[in-house]
Amino acid sequence: MGDPLVVVAGAGGFIGGHLVAALRAKGRQVRAVDIKPLGEWYQVFDDVENVVADLKLREESRRVCAGAGEVYQLAADMGGMGFIEHHKALCMLSVLTNTHMLMGAVDAGASRFFYSSSACVYAADKQVSADVAPLKESDAYPAMAEDGYGWEKLFSERMCRHFREDFGLPTRMARYHNVYGPHGTWEGGREKAPAAICRKVIHAKHTKDPTIEIWGDGNQTRSFMYIDDCIHGTQAIAKSDILEPINLGSSELVTVNQLVSIVEEIAGIKLKRSYNLSAPKGVNGRNSDNTMIQRELGWEPSIRLRDGMERTYRWIHDEYMRKYGD
């Protein structure tokens, strides 16, 4: 008997597209699902089953989960800080998708359900300083998640737990910390900081504009995980016996200003920085405590930020020049 069918929801998105690529490279039978028209997917593979469906609808979730042995639920209406701070209701609506995909997986008798949560679940009072202590899994409670998107993620984690307890669906959950890399959003308002900074530096160099706008004062701190490490960690967590949500991120902490400097170095340019203090900037500091995942899975990111940003910059540069180049 062959390997079970794997359903990847959110396959037209950034992380989902890379996950499909990794699964098909292993010879897995994959059903790739997304709400976007196929022409808008970041990666499309002809040798997998590609399905366009609105997973907020229960009947659609049941349809795409039919026959599935494993389900990866990455589908969500989300984006970078500029998007999630101004579209809280849209982000909350992803609860419908998570609910119906869990129900679809139960109906299908799936042997494993993976849910992509987020570091946005962590209590805000743990992230008030740029000199932040790495966030442990236990820091999500007492709960005070990021408004909108963070609460949706935290609620859905609890739902995964109770579907495991009440319906016997084996659920696994990872809290992603700032995933970046090629084949993702780099303009339009949904992009995250690494892609946005790459685009701004590329635009400044192409237009010979010597300035770059930075949201906030640039001293806010973050850790960023390259997509290859994310995909490796995702599959390891999905196969593991870890029942509670677990961090999946890098512990290499940098300021936004330092991230800009890395991209400037890659581009071979130095820009004048303009700080937009009224723009969304998120929490002052956030970093991943990887103690649990190192202990349980021996997992540690393998790609340094400088190396991952160079790969990301080169891809966005080619996309930018294809669209805007002379």
Residues with catalytic roles: 149
**137 in Cβ contact with 78 (< 8 Å):** no
Question: φ and ψ at 210, to 5 degrees?
Answer: -85, 5
DSSP for 205-254, written as a single string? HHHT--EEEEES-S--EEE-EEHHHHHHHHHHHHHS---S-EEES---EE
3-state secondary structure of 70: strand
- Among candidate residues 200, 189, 205, 210, the one with its CA nearest the CA of residue 280: 189
**75 in Cβ contact with 101 (< 8 Å):** yes
Put residue 169 in one of left, alpha, beta given phi > 0 → left and psi -120 to 50 → alpha. Answer: beta
**250 in Cβ contact with 286 (< 8 Å):** no
**Contacts of 241 by beta carbon, 8 Å cutoff, 6+ apart:** none
DSSP for 266-299, written as a single string? HHT---EEEEETTS----SB--B--HHHHHHH--
